[in-house]
């Protein structure tokens, strides 16, 4: 049984609450507190659900909340001890405290905030440069810069501005103290998406405005209202991007290949707006994009955060905001306005969403094939390749230092992520895998070592521990992989499996169970 240390722990909890509260984005006179934001979100959806006669799902239990918040914020399942700490020591506010700690805790040994920032940098990079091409892999070098922005909680309009106006001239190589020289900062984005004005225009419009204008490069868009001149008007802003360098021309004009027409820079959907003098074309574009009255920018930012946390954007398609109906955009636009008023504060927004009751509800029960959850309700989410590696690293108790030939640094992580990426979807609610991915999880080196009685740290830790009886061993394996204790029916089935193996073979039974847990849908899908 687990040993409880009541008083010292409570003291630590209270101290942490005080620290967390100090780090948390404060309520200022211009904006509401995160608690009030959470309440606001719940009220909006309570109204919406009532109108549609939808009964909201119940709140999840602590174990589900624990795994959900760790994966969504920190990008990895919790360790066994982190899980035990959360599940065994109750306090009324422990869920809110956990959110605060995951977002703000910078002290050792946890350093949650840094890991959370690194995870969000990965999420953002995957969103900005999707796909599996070598160019997309180049974009991984954007992550250290993105992580810096998340750690410092730089205003999102500033982040966007830095990205849009980034140049490659005179850029010092960003040197990460742990990993060595990294790319060339935000300008790398343009190279990763193709290094041409057309690809830059396409990507920037999708990433920051949530509209896809790529089709209109060659002809008027068949489904949306964008015309060729709209596309090339945007591409003109990026006419200084060519031949591997990222800069700005004096005058923003562009002539498409094989075309007689020359296009001047024009803001998307706002062609009449004047481009102010004294600024480079991309500075002007950035000004226009992050302006308070640009309904697409703030809404897209909110939509993307929402999509990552809940699993599905507030509108049907996060990359087609121009097609969303006014009804769909109602809550999104209101929330976007609050986001703008908060000073484009990402951490404030994330905290508010995670503290809402909405975030704590069960996934929508989807009885029909391909059914979509009602607005504001979660679908089952899939883990990204990076989350799968991080969770394996945690569940397998792998060493994490370079000096220990750890999987994180000796190439195994790269290999696993590359293989999973070959199949992975860009959307959190869509699980995709082929046979090579399944075979990798079943018989790949990490799994083989994890289920080998001699090599597996987790198995050795669980099997050698004198404090754990059969029940305790099974619980430890469940906490390691699913971050929850086994239910009674699970215990019944699996304990029978263990009992059927006699003597020496009993240890093998645990290895088989561990294999089953690692390959179960519950490990790669998230409720």
Partner 1 sequence: MSPTDFTRRDFIKLSFASAFGVSYSGWMPRLALAAEGTKPKACILLWMAGGPTQTDTFDLKVGHANGGPSKAIETAVPGIQISEHLPGVASQMKDLAIIRSMTTQEGDHDRATRLMLTGHRPGQEGVNYPSLGSLFAKELGDEESDLPAYVSVSPFRFGFSGGPGFLGPNYAPLTVSGESDDPEARANLSVENLKPPAGVTKESLERRMEISKFLQDDFAVRANSSSTRTHKANFSRAMRMIASNAKGAFKLDEEPAAIRDKYGRSRFGQGCLLARRLVERGAAFVEVTLEGWDTHADNFNAVKRLSGTLDPAWTTLMTDLRDRGMLGSTLVVWMGEFGRTPKITATTGRDHFPLAWSTVLGGGGIKGGQAIGSTGAAGTEVADRPVKIADFYATMCAGIGVSPEHENISPEGRPIPLVERGGKVIEEIATVPPKKKA
| Residue owning tokens 């991007």 | 241
Contacts 24+ apart (CB under 8 A), 156-161: 156/301, 156/339, 156/344, 156/345, 156/346, 157/290, 157/297, 157/344, 158/344, 160/208, 160/286, 160/289, 160/290, 160/297, 161/286, 161/290
For residues 433 and 468, which CB has a smaller minimum distance to partner 1 in the complex? 433
Give the nearest distance from C-beta 449 to partner 1 in angstroms. Answer: 9
Q: Work out how close the CB of 514 gets to partner 1 at its nearest, in angstroms, rounded to a whole number.
A: 10
CB of 223 to partner 1, least distance (A): 6
CB of 469 to partner 1, least distance (A): 20
Nearer to partner 1, 30 or 489 (CB): 489
Site residues for partner 1 per CB under 8 A: 131-132, 194, 199, 202, 212, 214-215, 217-218, 222-223, 316-317, 363, 365-367, 369-370, 372, 379-382, 422-423, 429-440, 442-444, 448, 452, 489-490, 493-494, 497, 508-509, 512-513, 515-517, 519-522, 524-525, 527
Could you tell me if 62 and 86 are in contact, meaning their C-beta atoms sit under 8 angstroms apart? yes
Q: Residue 340 CA to chain centroid, in angstroms?
A: 21
Measured from the CB of residue 448, what is the shortest distance to partner 1 in angstroms? 5
**177 close to 171: Cβ distance less than 8 angstroms:** no
For residue 298, which of 337, 353, 330, 328 has the smallest C-alpha distance? 337
Closest approach of partner 1 to the CB of residue 515, in Å: 5
Decide whether 88 or 422 has the Cβ nearer to partner 1.
Answer: 422
CA 368 to chain centre: 27
Of the two residues 150 and 263, which places its CB atom closer to partner 1 in the complex?
Answer: 263
Enumerate residues 6+ apart whose C-beta is below 8 A from 420: 385, 388, 433, 437, 440
Whose Cβ is closer to partner 1: residue 40's or residue 515's?
A: 515
Q: Of 210 and 444, which CB lies nearer to partner 1 in the complex structure?
A: 444
Residue 494 CB, shortest distance to partner 1, in Å, is 7
Beta pairing, strands 253-254 & 263-264: antiparallel
CA distance 498 to 506: 6
Cβ distance to partner 1 smaller for residue 14 or 366 = 366
525: phi then psi, degrees, rounded to nearest 5: -115, 155
Residue 132 or 410: the one with the smaller Cβ distance to partner 1 is: 132
Quote the tokens at residue 183: 């790319």
Q: Which is it for the CA torsion 44, 48, 53, 59, positive or negative?
A: negative
Which residue, 82 or 429, is less far from partner 1 as judged by CB? Answer: 429
Least distance (Å) between residue 424 CB and partner 1: 8
Taking residue 149's Cβ as centre, other Cβ atoms within 10 Å add up to 21
Distance between CA 300 and CA 324 in Å, rounded? 12
d(CA 235, CA 264): 9
Return d(Cα 392, Cα 395) in angstroms, integer: 5
Q: Is 524 exposed, middle or buried, given 0-12, 13-18 or 19+ CB atoms closer than 10 A?
A: buried
d(CA 118, CA 58): 32
Minimum gap (Å) between residue 214 Cβ and partner 1:
5
* Minimum CB distance to partner 1, residue 139 (Å): 15
- The secondary structure of residue 484, as a DSSP letter, is S
Q: How far is the CB of 67 from partner 1 (least distance, A)?
A: 13
> For residue 478, what is the DSSP state?
H
CA–CA distance, 187 with 368 (Å, rounded to integer): 45
Exposure string (b/e) for 486-507, b if CB count within 10 Å is 16 or more? beeeebeebbeebeeeeeeeeb
**Residue 270, helix vs strand vs coil:** coil
Please say which residue, 16 or 519, places its beta carbon nearer to partner 1.
519
CB closer to partner 1, 156 vs 208: 208
Nearest to partner 1 of 292, 430 (CB atom):
430
Length of the chain: 527
Nearer to partner 1, 183 or 373 (CB): 373
Query: In this structure, are residues 304 and 125 in contact, taking their beta carbons and an 8 Å threshold?
Result: no
Owner of token pair 């922005």? 149
Q: How far is the CB of 44 from partner 1 (least distance, A)?
A: 23
Question: Smallest gap, in angstroms, from Cβ of residue 428 to partner 1?
Answer: 10
Q: Residue 124 burial (CB < 10 Å; 0-12/13-18/19+)?
A: buried
């Amino acid at each position: 049984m687990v040993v409880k240390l009541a008083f010292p722990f409570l003291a630590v909890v209270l101290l942490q609450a005080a620290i967390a509260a100090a780090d948390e984005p404060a309520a200022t006179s211009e904006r509401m507190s995160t608690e009030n934001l959470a309440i606001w979100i719940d009220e909006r959806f309570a109204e919406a659900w009532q109108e549609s006669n939808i009964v909201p799902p119940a709140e999840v239990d602590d174990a589900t909340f624990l795994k959900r918040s760790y994966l969504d914020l920190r990008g990895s399942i919790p360790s066994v001890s982190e899980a035990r700490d959360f599940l065994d020591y109750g306090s009324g506010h422990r869920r809110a405290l956990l959110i605060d700690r995951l977002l703000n805790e910078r002290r050792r040994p946890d350093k949650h905030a840094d890991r959370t920032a690194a995870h969000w940098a990965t999420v953002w990079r995957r969103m900005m440069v999707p796909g599996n091409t070598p160019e997309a892999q180049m974009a991984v070098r954007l992550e250290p810069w993105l992580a810096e922005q998340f750690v410092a909680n730089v205003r999102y309009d500033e982040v966007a501005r830095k990205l849009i106006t980034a140049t490659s001239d005179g850029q010092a190589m960003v040197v990460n103290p742990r990993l060595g020289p990294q790319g060339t900062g935000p300008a790398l984005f343009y190279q990763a998406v193709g290094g041409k004005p057309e690809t830059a225009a396409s990507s920037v419009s999708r990433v920051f405005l949530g509209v896809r204008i790529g089709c209109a490069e060659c002809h008027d868009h068949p489904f949306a209202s964008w015309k060729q001149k709209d596309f090339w008007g945007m591409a003109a802003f990026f006419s200084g991007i060519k031949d591997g360098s990222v800069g700005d021309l004096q005058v923003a004009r562009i002539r498409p290949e094989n075309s007689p027409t020359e296009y001047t820079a024009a803001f998307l959907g706002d062609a009449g707006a004047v481009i102010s003098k004294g600024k480079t074309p991309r500075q002007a574009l950035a000004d226009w994009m992050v302006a308070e009255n640009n309904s697409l920018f703030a809404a897209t930012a909110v939509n993307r955060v929402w999509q990552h946390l809940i699993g599905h954007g507030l509108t049907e398609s996060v990359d087609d905001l121009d097609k969303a109906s006014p009804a769909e955009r109602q809550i999104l636009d209101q929330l976007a306005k609050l986001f703008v008023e908060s000073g484009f504060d990402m951490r404030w927004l994330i905290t508010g969403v995670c503290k809402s009751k909405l975030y704590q509800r069960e996934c929508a029960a989807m009885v029909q094939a391909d059914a979509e959850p009602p607005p504001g309700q979660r679908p089952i989410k899939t883990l990204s390749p990076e989350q799968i590696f991080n969770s394996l690293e945690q569940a397998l108790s792998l060493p994490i230092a370079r000096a220990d030939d750890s999987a994180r640094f000796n190439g195994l992580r790269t290999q696993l992520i590359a293989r999973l990426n070959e199949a992975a979807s860009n959307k959190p609610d869509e699980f995709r895998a082929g046979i090579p991915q399944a075979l990798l999880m079943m018989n790949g080196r990490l799994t083989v070592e994890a289920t080998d009685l001699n090599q597996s740290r987790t198995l050795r830790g669980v099997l050698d521990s004198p404090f754990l009886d059969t029940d305790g061993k099974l619980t430890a394996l469940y906490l390691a992989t699913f971050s929850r204790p086994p239910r009674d029916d699970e215990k019944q089935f699996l304990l029978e499996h263990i009992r059927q193996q006699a003597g020496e073979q009993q240890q093998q039974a645990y290895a088989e169970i561990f294999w089953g847990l690692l390959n179960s849908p519950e490990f790669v899908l998230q409720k």
